[in-house]
Structure formats: structure tokens, C-alpha cells
């Protein structure tokens, strides 16, 4: 039976380890999925931005080839003569490619032609100064794509292409093409959603794992309590049988001793042997009663009795044992508030603790019995302690609650 119980306990522990592994694996998978999704969205964003830049650059380069027919007018400062044609070409590019804006500007960021009515010839596009590096690259004769810009909460992607003079040696203007990139905000929303979802899922997993661990721990404690209850129940049945079988002959022995005492003992010169047999019979009866009391899981009967009086009675009943063992008893008993308690049960606890302390010490040992009130969370409790200078024990403390546990050999 013990082997079966140990096997059940090992299975519970193995299941707890298995659940721990599953929970840890689940958390790692959730972290991996969220992190992988975030990286995937990041790569999609980078890919889309790169594709948008390449498209804008290609449109800008093709458009400058068309505008090269007007390079001589731009170079000579006669843009006004061809401004309607330039504006029409730029607006057509704007419409066909669904762009945000198309501008032809000089080296001072001043508009030569624009697809938007709000900008006129001679206006300075100051926002292009934020793209000065890409703009200067275009002035040097090389098409360029700018990083993503955020202007007044809107995202833009721009491409710059140089318009060369008729000989192809000098840059006479720069074509600026802008496209809206507000759709990238959707990716940002997805990323934020992934972060929130990841934190939420991890929180749920942690809470679920804590609840699961609590349930398993409770199951293990319940299993241990059931094992203890089964052992006590078995002991109770055995104790009842043993007590019945032992008490009958003990009664016969005591009755026989009484008869022998009345028949042979002299009142003038009493023999202590006649007192020894009844005394030992009474001791055996107490042992049997204690065994029955321990094995039987009785209900406590708390009463409003002075706790210091109960402690005093328990210590007084052990006065002979304390003196014979040469143990110094130190009482530290403070005034206590009224405490409802079961006198017999507390007496049994104190007897066991004090006797165990006495037996664990050599001569000249010290034994402290303390009682003091304590306040926790606004409630008053009483703390009773028994301390000794004995050898102690190395086993787990919870073993002291097991029936007949001892470290004595």
C-alpha cells in the first residue's frame, strides 16, 4: 500500500514537472510567434518602402527625359515661355501615377513648375530642406530617393532626379516626385496590436500557469491529507481492537493484584510491590488511552478557559521529569487576553513538546516556555513557544505531524 501511495505521489510530481514544461514551452512559443510576426511586419514595411522608392525613382527618371526638351529654356531663364507645357506634363504624371505632388525646382528650392495649384512659380519649398542630402545628390547629377518623411502627421516618400542641360553636362533643375505613404500607419497599428496581444497573451499564460500550479499543489496537499487520514483510520481500527484485547487482561491483572494485596499485605508493614503492579497497570491503561486518542480524529471542544492556567497545569504535571533530568525551566509568560481553546488537546501538545525537549537534552539543558500576545492585521493572537537546547533534527519539519514519527534509535 505504501508503495502504491509513493507511486501516486511520484506521478503527481511528474505531472507537475510536465505541466511546468508545457507552460514554459507555451510561453516561449507565444514569445516566438509575436516576435516573429513583428519581424515579419517590419520586413514587409521595409520591402514596401524600398519598392515605393524604386517606383518613384523610375517615374522621376522617365519624366526628366521628357523634360529635357525644355532644358534650354530653363537654363536661359525663359521658363515662362514653356510653363504651360511643363505644368501640363507634370500634372499628367501626377494623375497617371496617383502621386502626392510633382515639382520642378531650382537649386534654391524655388518652384519652376508644380502639379499643385497651391504652389506657384517662385515659391520656396522649405520642406525640401529636410531632404537636403538627397536633393544635393540630385544636383550632382544622380537620381536619389529620400528616407520616409513625416510632415504634419503625414508620411511622404520622395524621389529626386536631375534635369540636364542640352549637352548633358550641367544640372539646370531638379524634378521632385512625392507619394503619400500613410498606408504605412496601418503597419504601425498592426505592430502595436502585436505588442498588446503579446503582452496580453503572456499575462494570460502566466495567470493560467499560476492557477494550474496552485491547483496541482492543492491536489498534492489533498492527496497527502487523504493518505494521512487513511493511515489514521486504519490505526483507529487497529487501536480499538488492540485496546480491547489488552484492557481485558489488564483488568484481570489489576483485580488479581487487589486480591493479593488484601490477602497478604500487612497494614503495619506494607509491601511496595503490591502498589507497583496497579501502578504499572494504570500506566498501560493511559498508554492505550493515549493511543486511542491519537488515532481517533476527534473534534476540538474550545472553551473560554485561562490559557496561562492550562499551560501551568501542563508544566506542573511534568515537574518530576524536569527535576530528574536536571533541566532548567525558564517561563516567559506575559499577560494574555482571553483565548478560547481545547484544554485537553493543548495539554497533550505541550506534554509532547516538553517531553521531547527533555529527552533531547543532556544534563543542565535549558527549556523555555513562552506565551505572548501578537497583533496581525488588526487582530489579536496568542503565540505559545517551546524552545530547548537539544540536538534538534535534520528531517523536514512537516514530518513531526506524521503518526509515531521519531528520530530516536
Q: pLDDT digit string (tens) for 208-238?
A: 778 877 877 787 778 777 777 777 677 667 7
Q: How confident is the model at residue 267 (pLDDT cuts 50, 70, 90)?
A: low
Strands (E), 118-184: 144-145, 149-151, 154-164, 171-180
Q: How confident is the model at residue 166 (pLDDT cuts 50, 70, 90)?
A: confident
Same domain, 215 and 358: no
What pTM does this model have?
A: 0.47
Assigned domain for 4 exists: no
Same domain, 333 and 240: no
> CA-to-CA distance for 320 and 93, rounded, in angstroms?
113
Same domain, 79 and 194: no
Same domain, 241 and 319: no
Q: Which residue has the higher pLDDT, 279 or 375?
A: 375
φ, ψ for residue 223, nearest 5 deg: -60, -45
> CA-to-CA distance for 125 and 120, rounded, in angstroms?
10
Same domain, 353 and 221: no
Same domain, 178 and 32: yes
> CA-to-CA distance for 136 and 160, rounded, in angstroms?
9
Q: Which of 233, 255, 284 is the last residue of a domain?
A: 284
Mean local confidence (pLDDT), 47-64: 87
Assigned domain for 72 exists: yes
Same domain, 155 and 199: no
Find all residues with CB under 8 Å of 172, minimum gap 6, and list them.
71, 74, 75, 163, 164, 165
Q: Which of 147, 163, 182 is the last residue of a domain?
A: 182
pLDDT of 364 reads 76
CATH of the domain at 346: 3.30.565.10
115: domain range? 23-182
Same domain, 214 and 352: no
Q: Which residue has the cell 504601425?
A: 188
Same domain, 278 and 167: no
> CA-to-CA distance for 174 and 85, rounded, in angstroms?
17
* Gyration radius of the chain over CA positions: 48
Same domain, 234 and 263: yes
Task: Say how many domains are in the chain.
Answer: 3
pLDDT of 1 reads 46
Q: How confident is the model at residue 162 (pLDDT cuts 50, 70, 90)?
A: very high
Assigned domain for 163 exists: yes
- pLDDT tens across 342-351, in order? 888 888 888 8
The answer to whether 161 and 4 are in contact (CB under 8 A) is no
Assigned domain for 409 exists: no
Nearest Cα to Cα of residue 351 among 300, 313, 314: 314
Q: Which residue has the cell 499551560?
A: 311
Q: In DSSP terms, which residues pair with 164 in a beta bridge? A: 171
CATH of the domain at 38: 3.30.450.20
pLDDT of 222 reads 80
Mean local confidence (pLDDT), 124-131: 82
Residue 280 has pLDDT above 50, yes or no: yes
Assigned domain for 407 exists: no
pLDDT of 405 reads 63
Same domain, 158 and 210: no
Q: Which of 222, 255, 284 is the last residue of a domain?
A: 284
Same domain, 237 and 128: no
Assigned domain for 6 exists: no
Assigned domain for 3 exists: no
Assigned domain for 12 exists: no
- pLDDT tens across 286-313, in order? 667 766 666 565 677 788 888 888 888 8
Amino acid at each position: 500500500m505504501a508503495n502504491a501511495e509513493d507511486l501516486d505521489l511520484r506521478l503527481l510530481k511528474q505531472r507537475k514537472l510536465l505541466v511546468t514544461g508545457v507552460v514554459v514551452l507555451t510561453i516561449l512559443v507565444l514569445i516566438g510567434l509575436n516576435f516573429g510576426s513583428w519581424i515579419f511586419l517590419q520586413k514587409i514595411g521595409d520591402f514596401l518602402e524600398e519598392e515605393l522608392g524604386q517606383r518613384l525613382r523610375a517615374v522621376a527618371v522617365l519624366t526628366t527625359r521628357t523634360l529635357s526638351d525644355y532644358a534650354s529654356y530653363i537654363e536661359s531663364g525663359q521658363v515662362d515661355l514653356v510653363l504651360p507645357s511643363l505644368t501640363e506634363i507634370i500634372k499628367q504624371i501626377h494623375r497617371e501615377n496617383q502621386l502626392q505632388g510633382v515639382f520642378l525646382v531650382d537649386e534654391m528650392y524655388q518652384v519652376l513648375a508644380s502639379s499643385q495649384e497651391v504652389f506657384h512659380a517662385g515659391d520656396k519649398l522649405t520642406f525640401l530642406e529636410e531632404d537636403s542630402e538627397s536633393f544635393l545628390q540630385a544636383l550632382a547629377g544622380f537620381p536619389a530617393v529620400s528616407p520616409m518623411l513625416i510632415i504634419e502627421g503625414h508620411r511622404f516618400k520622395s524621389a529626386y532626379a536631375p534635369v540636364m542641360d542640352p549637352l548633358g553636362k550641367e544640372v539646370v533643375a531638379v524634378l521632385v516626385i512625392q507619394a503619400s505613404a500613410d498606408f504605412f500607419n496601418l503597419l504601425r497599428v498592426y505592430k502595436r496590436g502585436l505588442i498588446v496581444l503579446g503582452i496580453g497573451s503572456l499575462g494570460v499564460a502566466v495567470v493560467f500557469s499560476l492557477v494550474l500550479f496552485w491547483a496541482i499543489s492543492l491536489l498534492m496537499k489533498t492527496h497527502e491529507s487523504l493518505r494521512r487520514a487513511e493511515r489514521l483510520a486504519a490505526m483507529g481500527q487497529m487501536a480499538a481492537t488492540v485496546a480491547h484485547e489488552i484492557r481485558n487482561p489488564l483488568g484481570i491483572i489489576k483485580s488479581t493484584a487487589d486480591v493479593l494485596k488484601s490477602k497478604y499485605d500487612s497494614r503495619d508493614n506494607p509491601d511496595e510491590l503490591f502498589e507497583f503492579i496497579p501502578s504499572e497497570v494504570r500506566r498501560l491503561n493511559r498508554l492505550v488511552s493515549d493511543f486511542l486518542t491519537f488515532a481517533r480524529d476527534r473534534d476540538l471542544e474550545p472553551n473560554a478557559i485561562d490559557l496561562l492556567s492550562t499551560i501551568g497545569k501542563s508544566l506542573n504535571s511534568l515537574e518530576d521529569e524536569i527535576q530528574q533530568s536536571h533541566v532548567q525551566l525558564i517561563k516567559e509568560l506575559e499577560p494574555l487576553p482571553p483565548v478560547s481553546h481545547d484544554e485537553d488537546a493543548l495539554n497533550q501538545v505541550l506534554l509532547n513538546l516538553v517531553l521531547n525537549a527533555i529527552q533531547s537534552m543532556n544534563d543542565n539543558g535549558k527549556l523555555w516556555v513562552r506565551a505572548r500576545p501578537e497583533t496581525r492585521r488588526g487582530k489579536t493572537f496568542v503565540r505559545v513557544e517551546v524552545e530547548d537546547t537539544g540536538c534538534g533534527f535534520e528531517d523536514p519539519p512537516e514530518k513531526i505531524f506524521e503518526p509515531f514519527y521519531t528520530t530516536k534509535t
